[in-house]
Amino acid sequence: MTLSSASKSASRTVAADLQAALKARTARLAVVGMGYVGLPMAIEFARAGFPVVGIDVDPDRCEALAQGRSYIADVSDEDLQAALATGRFQTSADTGALAEADAILICVPTPLRKSKDPDLSYVLNAGEAVARHLKRGQLIVLESTTYPGTTEEVLLPMLEAKGLCVGKDFFLAFSPERVDPGNPQFGVQNITKLVGGVTPACTALAVDLYRQFIEKVIPVSNTRVAEAAKLLENTFRSVNIALVNEMALVCRHLGVDVWEVIDAAATKPFGFMPHYPGPGIGGHCIPLDPHYLSWKARLSGYEPRLIGLASEINGGMPHHVADLITQGLNDQSKCVRGSRILLLGVAYKPNVGDVRESPALEILRLLDGMGARLSYCDPYVPTLATESLLLNSLPLTPELLRGSDCAVVVTHHRAFDYEMIVRESPLVVDTRNATRRFAHLGAVCFL
């Protein structure tokens, strides 16, 4: 047997051994990052029978998890405690636990710098930790949303610097997270999973990993396709939300009800997908991910104009909301300065407590700069701190509404009593069309 043949045989053995461990669910998993992506994934793998260690650099998070206290809405304390009770799930702040893993999932944040350039510091730190403990036979999968090329241009060189060869000694893939926090219909198990590996062997092993409990896993030809697909998903939403936000502005100038226009257009059985206007976009994905795509495109010599315009339109919606509040108060012979303005909902989406990039933050900043007296009610966000404000959520009562000059529906939580809101408030500015059924009961200004 030649050296080359021996090498190929050894590589096949490494892949075959890992594949067998994955299918037998005896492979040891490590999930780096115990946030809204990593923790649900770790719990589901443990539930499927895998031994899992969740790694997070925040020792307070690890301590909370070890005590059975979840800080993620999509993972209940009961689910976490059940996983702990099996002995298959444990947590650690020590990245040394990576050395014992057969498969490693990297689920860390990928924020933007103030310049709107990608901040890969979390990915780099995770990659360095994985590289320090890399061994033959490991599968590494990056799930963090990032620009096309990150897996092969950033992670791969760090790992191959250890002297091991991808596709033979270790395996590397990208599989974008598709978590939708607070969505009761879609969870980790029934959201289709995309997988793209650096080599065919990498793809095959990553597919084998996820197919142990995810209903549908789709392989693509390489990591760049998988990375770009994730960015397209969220850029699609950003652009279409911008379109309908601009339609709302147009309709307001034309004296047309944009909500009725959307409902009418949605009766077409083909060629139209309804999106809805709002006070702006929030969360970790839609406001940020298109910038990753734009940044990479500019490096390649192309300026993606539509993506930038969509971001500009969506980013301007909090200003439009402030204008609506100003106009509504003016109609009642009041000015913003000194008026008591109550924001209803500050989370970026309904029925969750996540305020990352929430348009409510910009609305508060604008109104604070105009001299308004601000308060808010959000059953999912007990306290809110901004650069200039520190507020506590107030209970939604008739007295609170009557004592406000304007109530602003920013986040349409199911828990809100919209009939009471309209009936008791001197003025309602509704950015979500949540009070339509009760508009006849009071003064309501719609987006």
CB neighbours (10 Å) of residue 300?
A: 8
Question: Could you give the 3-state DSSP secondary structure of residue 91?
Answer: strand
Closest to 137 in 3D by CA, of 100, 112, 187 = 100
Bridge partners (DSSP) listed for residue 54: 31, 91
What pLDDT, on the 0 to 100 scale, is given for residue 211? Answer: 97
Question: Is 285 among the catalytic positions?
Answer: yes
Confidence category of residue 73, pLDDT binned at 50, 70, 90: confident
Can you give the residue ranges of every domain in the chain?
3-221, 258-446
Chain segment 405-445, per-residue pLDDT in tens? 999 999 999 999 999 999 999 999 999 999 999 999 999 99
Q: Which fold is adopted by the domain 258-446?
A: Rossmann fold (3.40.50)
Question: Could you give the 3-state DSSP secondary structure of residue 139?
Answer: strand
Confidence category of residue 12, pLDDT binned at 50, 70, 90: confident
Decide if pLDDT at 162 tops 90: no
Chain segment 325-354, per-residue pLDDT in tens? 999 999 999 999 999 999 999 999 999 999
Chain segment 129-139, per-residue pLDDT in tens? 999 999 999 99
Chain segment 243-264, per-residue pLDDT in tens? 999 999 999 999 999 999 999 9
Confidence category of residue 10, pLDDT binned at 50, 70, 90: low
Residue 54 dihedral angles phi and psi, to the nearest 5° = -95, 120
CA atoms of 403 and 446, how far apart (whole Å): 21
Q: How far, rounded to the nearest angstrom, does the alpha carbon of residue 47 sit from its chain's CA centroid?
A: 23
Decide if pLDDT at 234 tops 90: yes
What pLDDT, on the 0 to 100 scale, is given for residue 3? Answer: 44
Could you tell me what percent of the chain has a pLDDT over 90? Answer: 93
DSSP string, 20-56: HHHHHT-S-EEEE--STTHHHHHHHHHHTT--EEEE-
Decide if pLDDT at 114 tops 90: no
Q: pTM above the 0.85 mark? A: yes
| The 3-state secondary structure of 276-294, one letter per residue | CCCCCCCCCCCCCHHHHHH
Mean of all residue pLDDT scores within the chain: 95
Residue type, 291: H
Decide if pLDDT at 280 tops 90: yes
The answer to whether the 3-221 and 258-446 domains have the same CATH topology is yes
> What average pLDDT does range 110-126 have in this prediction?
94
CA atoms of 39 and 70, how far apart (whole Å): 9
Q: Which CATH architecture has domain 3-221?
A: 3-Layer(aba) Sandwich (3.40)
What pLDDT, on the 0 to 100 scale, is given for residue 9? Answer: 64
Catalytic residue among 62, 202, 285, 445: 285
CA atoms of 215 and 192, how far apart (whole Å): 7
> What average pLDDT does range 156-163 have in this prediction?
95
Decide if pLDDT at 1 tops 80: no
Q: How far, rounded to the nearest angstrom, does the alpha carbon of residue 223 sit from its chain's CA centroid?
A: 20
CA atoms of 34 and 97, how far apart (whole Å): 14
> What average pLDDT does range 54-72 have in this prediction?
95
Residue found under tokens 């320090």: 132
* CB-CB contact of 243 with 275 (8 Å): yes
Bridge partners (DSSP) listed for residue 118: 112
Could you tell me what percent of the chain has a pLDDT over 70? Answer: 98
What pLDDT, on the 0 to 100 scale, is given for residue 2? Answer: 46
